[in-house]
Amino acid sequence: MNKIDIHNERIAKMTFASVYPLYLVKVEKKGRTKEELHQVVAWLTGFNDEKLKELIEQKSTFETFFQVASLNPNAHLITGVICGYRVEEIENPLTQQVRYLDKLVDELAKGRKMEKILRNP
């Protein structure tokens, strides 16, 4: 298994519940709200607050999380660098979806306007 495969496997097995609190701290530290975070997650995945809570309680892996998600058709408009990777060039679909979420959370924390984050042309 090469380095990229190991990275992709690690991301697939990571639980959303383990990352969600980090997302929340990141956005709240920058003056954004839990509701805004949930709005961003809902835009990307189609999950409402109830479904999000259920996935967190079940300790769903990112693999399961994105299998049950209805990915926004405009997700491909998310571009740029996150965690050292250019999201539009990531070949593994699951890793790309996780990085889409990371990128949206990062933009929220950086104070970008919600209309821009949600990429509705």
85 within a domain of the structure (yes/no): yes
For residue range 44-90, list pLDDT tens digits in order: 999 999 999 999 999 999 999 999 999 999 999 999 998 888 999 99
Domain ranges, residue 83: 3-116
Res. 121 pLDDT band, cuts 50 70 90: low
104 within a domain of the structure (yes/no): yes
70 within a domain of the structure (yes/no): yes
59 within a domain of the structure (yes/no): yes
Q: What angle do CA 17, 29, 60 make, to 5 degrees?
A: 5
CATH code of 28's domain: 1.10.8.290
19 within a domain of the structure (yes/no): yes
Percent share of the chain, pLDDT over 70: 98
The answer to whether the CB of 26 falls within 8 A of the CB of 20 is no
How many folded domains does the chain comprise?
A: 1
71 within a domain of the structure (yes/no): yes
Q: Look at residues 66, 103, 45, 80 and name the one whose alpha carbon lies nearest to residue 117.
A: 103
Percent share of the chain, pLDDT over 90: 88
121 within a domain of the structure (yes/no): no
The chain-wide mean pLDDT, for the chain, equals 94
